Structures are given as structure tokens and as C-alpha cells.
Amino acid sequence: MRQGSGVRDGVGKGQISMATVERTLVLLKPDAVARGLAGRIIQRLEDAGLKIVGTKMKQLDAEFTKRHYFDLEERFGSSVYEKTATFMQQGPVLAFAIEGVEAAKNVRRLVGATFPNEAPAGTIRGDFAHVSKAYTDAQHKVIANLVHASGNSEEAKYEIDLWFDASELFEYETLAEKYTF
């Protein structure tokens, strides 16, 4: 059963401990949407045994952007926050609540390093983006890195609660769960 924390518990016959099943947030940023990469990115998540339990498309406004990136200015300064906020508001964003075993950690692994030129081939950023920090700094731009993925399960809970009402999150079993877990 899904609890408010987004973590299932209990162990059924032949199943792993469900304490490791969690939910995380994935955002396809305006560059991913504009480039038509949504299907290819979703496929990679599903191919890895993760499932979509909620989805929506949203045009971010200044208030919502501030709520999502509430600590970015404190951590990296107002310049980084302003560039990020402007970038995130330039086009629609696709939001996904993703569920799976150690979902936050596994999604981050699939997405790759923040700076696409440092992301290994085989990761989303490594295959679909190439921009470097040096280039974006010289151009005074934000890194167009296609995807936001929650950093950990605590961050994921905050972000999922921000983006989704409970009625927008779904429980169902995939074939991967039935036959793999």
C-alpha cells in the first residue's frame, strides 16, 4: 500500500523488501519538450523497470518556479537562480512521478551528470545533450540539460507533493513488477 511518504512496505512471497520502492520526480525541461525527446526519455525510464504513477504538463510561472527551486538561490547565488527560473519558464515542462526500487538514485544514474559534457554515453544527458559549464558561463546562459531529477528521497517527497495532488497519483502493477520483483 502506498503511504504518504511514497514508499510501500510489506513483503509478499517471492518479492524483495518493498521498503526500497519509492517515488521520485522527473521533469522534462523546456529544452527536452521543444526538441521532441519526451518519448525517448520516458522509454529509458520504463526500460529500466521504473513506472509512471503521475504525469502532467505545466507552464511554470514565477511563483511556482520559486517554490520548486526554493533553495537554489541560497546554494548557488541569485545569478544561477535567475538564469534557471528564466529557462524553466520559457516553455512547457512535463512532470512525472516515477516509482521503482531506489527510484531517486536510479533515475539520477539514468539521467547522468548535471553538465552534459561530463555525462557518460548511455545516459540521457550524455546521449542527447552536449553543453559544457564553460560554454554556458561564457554565454551567460543556464545549462540546457533536458531533465530535472530529485536528488534524494526526501527531496522527491517535497517535489512530488508540490507538483501533484494525491488524486493525481495512481497505483497499478506493471508486468516488470509482476515478473521481476
Residues with active-site annotation: 148
Determine the Cα angle at 89 with ends 82 and 152, to 5°: 75
**Rounded to an integer, what is the distance from CA 153 to the centroid of its chain?**
12
Contacts of 14 (CB under 8 A, 6+ apart): none
C-alpha cell of residue 50? 521504473
Q: How far is CA 92 from CA 53, 89, 145, 178, in A?
A: 20, 7, 15, 34
Sign of CA dihedral 55, 30, 159, 7: positive
Report which of 68, 83, 73, 85 is spatially closest to residue 25, judged by C-alpha positions: 68
